[in-house]
Each structure stands twice: as structure tokens, then as C-alpha cells.
Amino acid sequence: MQLNADFNLHAAVHAAFLAWVPSPMPGVERRLLDRIGAEVARATTIVRYAPGSCFSPHTHDGGEEFLVLDGVFQDESGDYPAGSYVRNPPTSRHTPRSAEGCIIFVKLWQFAPEDRAQVRVDTSKMQFQPVSDRPGVAEVSLFRDDREQVRLERWEPDSVISLEAPGGIEVLVLDGAFCDASERFSALSWLRLPDGETLRAKTGAQGCRLWVKTGHLAHTQTAPAQER
């Protein structure tokens, strides 16, 4: 499958309006944002676990990054309530499940092959800090290396926001909304801008809160080898 697979192009998906698509595992459904590959894929996806559902044990050869949006995600390492941010690097292994059900935003096969940094952060216990050179913006840093930066941002109501990010920009709206020149992005809207573009946005009366990744699109976007 090829979905929003040209990383030199603007891509936008309003996931709240997409139908849920069944996965191979009973009780686990998906909304696809971008994808290169079949069941094993370089993918950006919103995944919903029904109460009591699980995936079989598996190894993440290309790494896994996720943010829990609702409910509680679980695996052998513990329980991850809404707001949890996790990076499981290449070669990591687990058995994901959810007793009460959950929704996560997940990215697969998007790590540097040599990356071995394990990250587990509860963002609900972190404080947003004002960004000195960006009026109306506060942030919580989640991860940073030479390849990319991942963070949460909070944009104040009725603000004009400009985000220059050499290396590309990817955002997921968590709550609130913003508009760019031609489109409105509300909760679960996802936007990807290629290397060299600038995000220009205006928030409404509620402002908004977003997951943001920058820098990563300057690097070659790899995908797992496909079976023949």
C-alpha cells in the first residue's frame, strides 16, 4: 500500500472523519495517515484497541513511537494512560494490549537503524514552558537528537503562529483547532509539510494543543523490505 508516500508533498488527513479499518487482530482497528508497505509497513496511524484486545508478541525491527490519546495502553513494561509518550527503538519486543481500551497515535519504521534510546514519558506530569522567540507558544520537550525533535506545543487563543522547521514538520492536533491559508485543523487532524516549508497558522477562541515532530523529513524515509 502507498498512502501519502511522497514526502516531498504536503499531506493532510482529518482522521476524526475517517472510518475505522479492522486490523488482522480482533478488536484492534486503525485510521491510516501515511503508509508504505503491507501489514509490515513504514506507517503513521491512529489505532483503537477495544477493551480486552491485544496484539501477538512481536519485535519492532524498525522501531515504534506512540502517544496515548485516550484510555490505557499496556504491555510487559507497565500501564500507559492518556498522555503517555513512548519510543520503543529498533530490536525492541513487546506484547501490546489494553484491558479497558485505548486509542494511540503510532509511527512505525521511522527510526535511525542504530537508535537504541528507550523513552517513556508521562506528559500529564510535565509543565509547558513558554518559547521565548515564539509569542503565544509554550512547549513540552519529549525527545531530541541530531535527527529530529518531538514535543507537545500549546498555542494560545487568537494567535498567529509561524513555525519554520528545516527538515520538515509533522503535527497532530490533540485538542482545539487552527487554520492555515485554506484549511481548518481540529482534533485528530494530521498535517505533514516537507523539508523547506513553513507552517503558518491562526488559532481560534480556544487555542490548540498539538504533538509536533520536526527535522525528520530531511532524512531518507525507509520502509521494511516487502515479501515477494
pLDDT of residue 228: 44
E runs forming strands in 50-99: 53-54, 58-60, 64-75, 78-81, 84-88, 92-94, 97-98
CATH code matching the domain that covers 123-218, chosen among 2.40.30.10, 3.40.50.850, 3.90.650.10, 2.60.120.10: 2.60.120.10
At residue 106's C-alpha, the angle toward residues 86 and 39, to 5°, is 130
For the chain, domain boundaries = 11-122, 123-218
Listed as ranges, residues in the chain with pLDDT below 70 are 226-228
Q: Is CATH 2.60.120.10 what the domain over 11-122 is classified as, yes or no?
A: yes
User: What's the pLDDT at 226?
Assistant: 65
Contacts of 220 (CB under 8 A, 6+ apart): none
pLDDT tens for each residue of 156-175: 999 999 998 889 999 999 99
User: Do the domains 123-218 and 11-122 match in fold?
Assistant: yes
The pLDDT of residue 56: 87
**Residue 108: alpha-carbon gap to chain centroid:** 10
